[in-house]
Amino acid sequence: MSRVGKYPVPVPAGVQVALQGRTVVAKGKNGELKLDLTDEVDVTIESGTVAVAPRGEDRRSRTMWGTTRSLIQSMVTGVSTGFTKNMEITGTGYRAAVQGKDLVLALGYSHEIKYAIPAGIKITCEKPTSIKVEGADKRQVGQVAAEIRAYRGPEPYKGKGVRYTDEVILRKEGKKK
């Protein structure tokens, strides 16, 4: 039995969850998110909670039971409070700035990198060395943060590059004389 799937998802005040055919729609102050359901699970909405149940007893149904419940929980959290990823830039001359609909990064290359900010994502830079990625869709926030980090990931000798705020870089010792 799924340890995750058996618990119903509580719907907070200010969030509406509806079932339109085989699509779950969540609306809140941060926007609207949709999830297409697979054929292996059933969803019921009753008295402020969303319950997910498997249609069969096979392995795929039980797998999708917990996965679907987690995706619905992320949707409800996203439209009510949203998700945030904080990033830091370390290195001499490395900086970031938001110009219009682009994030401009100077990461030690011969040119500046312009990253187009996708719809549904808000990027802010309080300092030139910090980036804050916010949005309602957990997967999209994580993907955008990973793409920004991939331009210059942290290196193990000096720790230079773009990293998540809560990330720990394992440092290596330099070569000896």
Chain segment 152-172, per-residue pLDDT in tens: 999 999 989 999 999 888 999
pLDDT per residue over 10-68, tens digit each? 999 889 999 988 899 999 999 899 999 988 999 999 888 999 999 888 899 888 999 99
Percent of the chain with pLDDT over 90: 70
Does residue 76 contact residue 11 with C-beta atoms inside 8 Å? yes
Categorize the per-residue pLDDT at 6 as very low, low, confident or very high, splitting at 50, 70 and 90: confident
Contact 170, 158 (CB under 8 A): no
What b/e sequence results for 97-113 when a residue is b if at least 16 CB atoms lie within 10 Å of its CB, and e otherwise? Answer: eeeeeebebbbeeeeee
80-101 pLDDT, tens digit per residue, is 999 999 999 999 999 999 999 9
Q: Phi, psi at residue 155, to the nearest 5°?
A: -100, 155
Of 163 and 3, more confident: 163
| 2, pLDDT greater than 80 | no
| Average per-residue pLDDT for the chain | 91
H or E element that contains 59 = helix 59-80
pTM, entire model:
0.87
Sheet with strand 113-116: strands edge to edge: 95-99, 102-106, 113-116
